[in-house]
Amino acid sequence: MAKLSDLPEELISQICDETELDSLIPLAESCSLLNRIAGYHYCLRTSTYEIESLGVSNRHSPIDHISFSTLYKLTSICGSMAKVTHIRCAFSQSVETLLQEMRLITLALQLTRCHLYSIRLTFDGPEKGPQACPLSSFSGAFEDLIRQVQRTQCPHFEIEGTIPLMDGPLNFDLPTNHFLISFTVGRSFVLSHPQWVLSFLNSSPNISLLSAFCSHKWTQILPHLHLPSLNDITFFGDESFINNRLGFHATTKTMNIEVLAQFADRHCHTLETIYCGTQFRVFPASPNCSFQLPHLTCLKGTISQLCYFVSSPRALCNLQSIKISTSSSRNEDERLWDLLALICTRSKVQKLFLPVNIGALRGNLLSRNMSSLRSRCPHILSLELSEFRHVTEAENGDFLRWASQVFPSTKQLEVSYMKWDSKKSSAFARAMTVEWPSVETLAIDWDEKHVQAWCRI
């Protein structure tokens, strides 16, 4: 009796065209010839043929994601993962399903033929409670997954979301990974497993970009962390905001800014960018700055954090960009004028990110308080104004007059999230030509034009 595999390949391909999708997988598993032909048809019909960016999720996901069941079937097709370079995976909340999905992603990583460029893992389980996962079950599956991440030589790795894990430390040794250069870690891992985060980071000496949820746990991590290639460290998120959203009413713990400054000083030969986050606090007893950070070019923080870093004239000699983060503290806002006075002494700083909704700024402008004009920063050539939508049309003139005196040489201005129509955009540009003539280029909601071009709209 003739076998299906004995037929001409053209005829087999036509048969596969008429075969139901799920029936192609048993065909693909029967022999190498049918694996190639039936597998090709399965990949075509699931839009995964020669796929490079693979998104996997069982949620109601966008069109560029596949389900875990589809991924399972792909793993039985030789070469189906050969060209994948990006993997994004969102795990289920169910503990039992989560463990199965982790093992499946581990298998998929084993089948990749080329080095992956990026991997993002998103957990979405309950943090604690009856649905949380026992440590012994999660730790083994997670260790196997992390080792496969390292095997792929992936340079960009992200872990997000909440891990559904009962109390207990993740404790397994990792080999040195020289390929990872960018790592993003979310709230749950930082809060629940700071020791694992520390161990993972210290096993990756070539990380140049670290982005992490801002939590008091970094006071345990930073003093023992050494990343000899670090260029950029960014803290994001607000622990107090997250706690309130989750119904936790405990007081949010702050961190001494000295912890971050000492860490930065130990990495002074490579560090170029620091985003301080919201929880590093400048205490009254904080000593004078002893660091220099000669390679730092970009600094973002609250007003008090920035004052702390730039107060020493010997520190940050090559700083070029300052980004001011907003704060809920009125005392913090009042120090804006101290910060601008310090920026005046920094002739190399050419770019400033200024939130317009700072209470002290708007209050002084509306009352025409001349203390807001005590600083002049002629070296600021590029200015980005966030929250400018809070400035009313009636306040525009006062603001532009103030800005033209404080930043008289600014050539490039950017305002975002305005949603202005062409009439309002044109009116703003015309007012600028009168009140702030140094500005040549204006970007409104990331649409950049010469000021005169805006006027003609």
Query: Does 173 score more than 80 pLDDT?
Result: yes
Q: Which residue has the higher pLDDT, 246 or 366?
A: 366
Quote the CA–CA distance of 344 and 71 in Å, as a whole number. 57
Query: Does 49 score more than 80 pLDDT?
Result: yes
State residue 57 phi and psi, 5-degree precision. Answer: -165, 150
Quote the CA–CA distance of 78 and 48 in Å, as a whole number. 13
Expressed in percent and rounded to 5, the helix, strand and coil fractions of the chain are 40, 15, 40
Query: What's the chain's average pLDDT?
Result: 86
Q: Which of 70-79, 98-107, 366-375 is least confident?
A: 366-375
Q: Which helix (H) or strand (E) holds 259?
A: helix 257-266
Q: What is the domain partition of the chain in residue ranges? A: 198-347, 350-457
| Per-residue pLDDT at 243 | 47
Quote the CA–CA distance of 341 and 337 in Å, as a whole number. 6
Place of tokens 């001494």: 256
Q: What is the pLDDT of residues 301-327, one digit of tens each?
A: 999 999 999 998 889 999 999 999 987
Query: Does 99 score more than 50 pLDDT?
Result: yes
Residue 437: which residues within 8 A CB-CB, separation 6 or more? 404
For residue 251, name the pLDDT band (cuts at 50, 70, 90): very low
First-to-last alpha carbon distance for the chain, in angstroms, is 78
Cα 362 from chain centroid? Answer: 30
Q: Residue 356 corresponds to which tokens in the numbers above?
A: 């317009």
Whole-structure pTM value: 0.87
For residue 199, name the pLDDT band (cuts at 50, 70, 90): very high
Residues present in the chain in total: 457
| Per-residue pLDDT at 125 | 64
Give the pairing type, strands 441-444 and 447-450. Answer: antiparallel
Q: What is the pLDDT of residues 20-29, one digit of tens each?
A: 998 999 989 8
| Per-residue pLDDT at 139 | 85
Q: Residue 321 corresponds to which tokens in the numbers above?
A: 């960009």
Quote the CA–CA distance of 263 and 67 in Å, as a whole number. 42
| Per-residue pLDDT at 269 | 95
Q: Which long-range contacts (CB under 8 A, 24 or more apart) does 264-269 make?
A: 264/233, 264/291, 264/293, 264/296, 265/290, 265/291, 265/292, 265/293, 266/226, 267/227, 267/228, 267/230, 268/292, 268/293, 268/294, 268/295, 268/296, 269/295
Quote the CA–CA distance of 35 and 78 in Å, as a whole number. 7
Contact 332, 364 (CB under 8 A): no
